[in-house]
Structure 1
Amino acid sequence: MPVTSVEKDLDQLTITVIADFAAPVTRLWDAYMDPRQLERFWGPPSYPATFFRHDVAVGGRSVYRMTGPAGDEHWGCWEWTHVDAPRAFEVIDWFADESGAPNTGLPSVRANFAFEQTATGSRLTTVSRLDSLVQLEQLVSMGVLEGTREAMSQIDAVLADLAEFAASRAAEAQILSDTQVRVARVVRGTVEQVWRAHNDAELMKRWLLGPDGWTMPVCEIAADVGDSYRYVWEPDGGGEGFGFTGELLESEPPHRAVTSEAMIGMDFPPTRNELTLTPVQGGTLLSLVITYANAEMRDAVLATGMTDGMETSYARLEGLFEANVSV
């Protein structure tokens, strides 16, 4: 078990957990940066976690749900207050509802995660600070210490699974809920490059084409929050095309953008698309959480081969990076 020490300091109102791993610091760091990996160990085995949002930037938020054996759901939220890759990050962690709004009846925790290299791999020291002795004891009585030990005992298996999260893997879709899907891929490029690739119309026309045989004659970018965008694709040589339109709802360059999306000429409810870019070993983790109106719409879109088309586009983008195209 990786946890080597757990100390409760009643004077400082802290709980300190030290864990050692036979893996490099960058590998351990990435496990916390990537929601696909983090949700494999953030909750104990009987309360697995699902992350619906994970913004690795100061001011960002992460929203997660832990589901118990009886189907009971427990929500939490992080507010990111400090990021110093790959050495440390700090978050305020609170119990929440599914929107991320805090449950004020339960204690919030200011948690500092410090990563360091050791002779045999890496060490993670987590210091959780409470506001009062009552809060600290309340947290302990809820079984947090035991849950933390159980949760962190799962990290070794995640760290050993190098192939599952390698930059060479294609884009994959993961169903998060009845209405939400996360498409994730490590793109071999910097966060700044990948952000610009999503916000430069001429560049987008060169890579965001899906399968071969299509062109993108219309690419109208939404530059500011509240602006509308419009994308249209047509087959080479002419023929019937298709397109999407929507609004830029949130923008935090170069890490996060949220848009609505509706298919032009179709009477389907719009989706909400949350794009997050996170630097990881091997490039940039691109995570796109799509929220549909219902499960039927979700399944219908996935059945079109959407993920395969996205993979073709991302591979084409990497080709531009490798060819030293100015991005």
Structure 2
Amino acid sequence: MSRRHPTLYFEDGDVVLSSDSADGVTTFYRIDKILLCRQSIIFREMFSLPMPEILGEMYDGVAWVRMPDPTEELERLLLAMYDVSTLPLKRRDPDTAILLSGAMKLAKKYEIESLRSLILRHLEGDWPQDAELWCDFRHDIANAIDLHLNNPPQFRYAGQYIDERFPEAASTLLFALDHNCPTLLRAASMLLIGRTSEWKSLQRDSRDMQYERLASMRVIHFPAVRIHLLTDAHLAALKKGAEALSAELKKVANAELPVVSRAGCRSCSDNLVVWREVMGKKVAQMLLQGPDPISVVRKLYGGNNRPETVVCQPCWARDVKAVKDYRQKLWEDLPAIFGWYEQMSR
């Protein structure tokens, strides 16, 4: 069975590409070689060869190339090459990583750097890219949970369920590993080691969601993630990372964070050590969302927590900076802590 693509079959196109779907349907695309060559190094090199060497077949009066890529992926790629607005680039959509994975794979395969960069920038915009933004992201989730819980019986806010307002971590993790995008690994990993629920168990149809108890569970158990997508190797890496971050939290609890230079006030340095011991005792109360030393440390050592009676402003400022540097260094090290580089495609 075959068909001509409804929008990507131009009568004045000078080359036909074809691809096969999973159910055996062949789709034909009649398009412009110049468009392919301008955006893709691989297509440019391919079409620079003598035509008989790469083609040898004709379809509808023009050269015909049988593509090895599945229709679902090639269609998305070609549509984006003609009109990038066809890409599903809705901000913070939980399905984005799944919907864009095929296009990203072919953009990398055919070296279409402009498209690859666009997709990556969009996903990076959905996920926090430094330690401070990660803490803000966690705060956004907490606020969203409150908003939705205060809107029974559907528990929707601004026309959406809570899991429709945030990106989904497991599919993003797989996207990052499959397409060599380490900038997406950090936040997705941190969300996955928190208090999460299986995505499929909380997705209900509209009839189910009319019942208040079921609708509320979608909020109470947020964030939900597609755990079923993860392999044993992924789960083992997440366990390894969670254990390492739990060890970091023990350091926080034991006041073992970097101590400011004693070149400042000696009494302030001593008092800061005592202060950290006091604050460290609060760590156990802040672990409900999983082992997250980055967020915990910001809450403990935020600017509003300065012990004014025992630490002067210059020493406190140096201490806050030292702790901020610690958070950012830990954030940057997350892919190595989880061991993701060993699983990442090249």
Do the two structures share a fold, i.e. TM-score over 0.5?
no
Structure whose residues are more often helix by fraction: 2
Larger gyration radius, structure 1 or structure 2: 2
Structure whose residues are more often strand by fraction: 1
State the TM-score, normalized to the length of structure 2: 0.29
